[in-house]
Amino acid sequence: MQTVYARTLQLDDGLIAPYGGKLVQAFVPVHEKHEMLQRIEHMQRVEISAGELVELKMIACGAYSPLTGFMDQHTYKSVLDATKLTDGMSWGLPVTLGVTAEVAKSVNEGLEIALFRNDEAVGVMQVTDIFAWDAAREASVFGEGVKYKYPQITERKQRKVEYLLGGPVSMLTSRTDEVQRIKNIWPHDLRNLIIEKGWHNLAAIHLRNPWQRTDEYMLKSALEGSDAILLHMCNEVTPEKGGLLPSVLSGARRLLLENYFPNDRVLENPMPDGLFGSSPRAALQHAILSQNYGCASIYFPLSNEVDVTVHDFWEVFADTAKSGLRIRRVVMDIPFHCTLCGGIATVKSCPHEAEHHVIYSEADIVGRLLLGENLPPTVARPDIARAVARGMADKAVRGDAQGTHLYPHVSEISREVLESMAGHKAGVLWMTGLSGSGKSTIAHRIERELVLSGHRVYVLDGDTLRTGLNRDLAFGDEARRENLRRAAEVVKVLIDAGLIVIASFISPFTAEREMVREIVGANFFEVYVEANIETCEERDPKGLYKRARAGVIPKFTGISSPYEAPEHPDLRLNTSIQTLEECVKQFSDFIAQAGLMRASKHVRISDGLAGKNIA
């Protein structure tokens, strides 16, 4: 029986030792390549998949040390059942070669076979085991219809795989077009580079395709604690159902790394799809592979998309030290945008309540893109967001969705930058209350105080919109709701411009105010300007109540149409019993407490307010 060309290297490079102590090398030596190609002509040919070609490379280069080939049945079952190799070493994922029933019948144990990809020889394998593929068992471990995804299962079902072949392999050093297209760094080469660079702590990070602000935060956090980052990239070519296109995310990742990271400190390396699953098993496999590459540490970000806890991670790593896994593991909390902090943080660094934390799921992002909506700067940098939006334009969209042909331009200047220049946060103080309750009077007094103390403020009044933008609207129920919807959209634009908006609208119904809150998003504060109907009628600054009583104005709030007072407003101002000065002081104090005011310039302008009427 001809032998295959697997050997191990005992390294003395001063770096963290490969998993198992030695680095596997399973390449056909260059001087024997010609002889091997002649032998291959007489071997049984077996075509392998794109994923199996990557697995072959990982075995051959030593990334999967101590494996020297595809797993036999005993090893395969041990990994599925106990997360261990047969010698007791911890191992996360099966590494197998799948074939159809027809191919399995044509192969015998002990036979040497030629591995082909797209009709080109890529390696040889000595078959030591032929056994049934346990698709149901793999599905129960890695998940079809459960929370963990392992793409190999679906791909193999499509190929009608029924059996697995086990045995040692050797890869031909000549590279196919596909291999050349997906160029990997070999562990031995990277270890030499680490020594050449004088690095002491190369870090890996368990991220599939980083492009969002939260991804950037995690990458930079890892980079701050290391000399450089080894970013193993996903090789997938098809997205999860309803997900973002991998090709789109790859382009977004390149933009992020090229424009916002030092090029000499981030190394990219394509890896098998299954390595990026959300399961702790995938994390274990990533840690083993990264140690073989010489990484001293690996970062595992938790995700809001999958219910995996810190305990889950530590449980799968419980016995790994006995196996020689020495790489330092760091579990990172779920990052989010905090509206009060004004940036990305985690629960470890942010002191604010969860209601101020903004997290966008992939479903949220896809939904916005399919409707032609722009991604907020809190999700991704503007140039990256535009690249993702352009790429997603090729994705099928709903025929009845309005605005699917619209792709709003995202500003190069983020809201955070505008807020920083203004010296204060942006937000809306939505004032609701009966006509004559004092909303407009208080709004303009607060505007005066804020402007004179250096704030960027705008008062948005219902009557102003009614005589301009919304003059086409009548006063029926639907028209009134549309009036508030448009007002909310205007408020949203002004907030994006970094302004504090004081909006004065009767907005009598709870459902409509909730609609406004949903449109505006974060930093929405509901201010209830309370006054009983008798007080409002007595003031009646516009003569509206008199006309409503006479039947001239139908469905007038408080007379012929109800007003649903807020049950839990952020601020309540009772103008029936408080003076204008007292209301302005209470309002001003609230704005400061809400984090919208410039603390160094919180100076009230109260001269001349004492004794003045509210409306």
SS3 132: strand
Strand, coil or helix: 421: helix
Cα distances from 139 to residues 42, 43, 146, 166, 611, in angstroms, run: 37, 33, 9, 20, 75
Cα 497 from Cα 358, distance rounded (Å): 19
- Structure tokens belonging to residue 500: 């504090």
- Half-sphere exposure of 262 toward its Cβ, with a 13 Å CA cutoff? 8
* 502/195 Cα distance (integer angstroms): 60
Q: How far apart are CA 500 and CA 502, in angstroms?
A: 7
Q: What CA–CA distance (Å, rounded) separates 437 from 483?
A: 20
Output the six-digit token pair for 584. Answer: 């302005």
What is the end-to-end Cα distance of the chain in Å, rounded?
Answer: 101
Q: What's the gap between Cα 101 and its chain centre?
A: 41
Residue 180 structure tokens = 């050349």
Q: Which of 297, 504, 507, 588 is catalytic?
A: 507
CA 425 to chain centre: 24
Q: What are phi and psi of 360, to 5 degrees?
A: -100, 125
> Is residue 507 among the annotated active site residues?
yes
Q: At what angle do helices 477-496 and 510-520 cross, to 10 degrees?
A: 30
- Complete edge-to-edge strand list for the sheet that includes strand 328-332: 266-271, 228-234, 202-205, 297-301, 328-332
Active site residues: 507
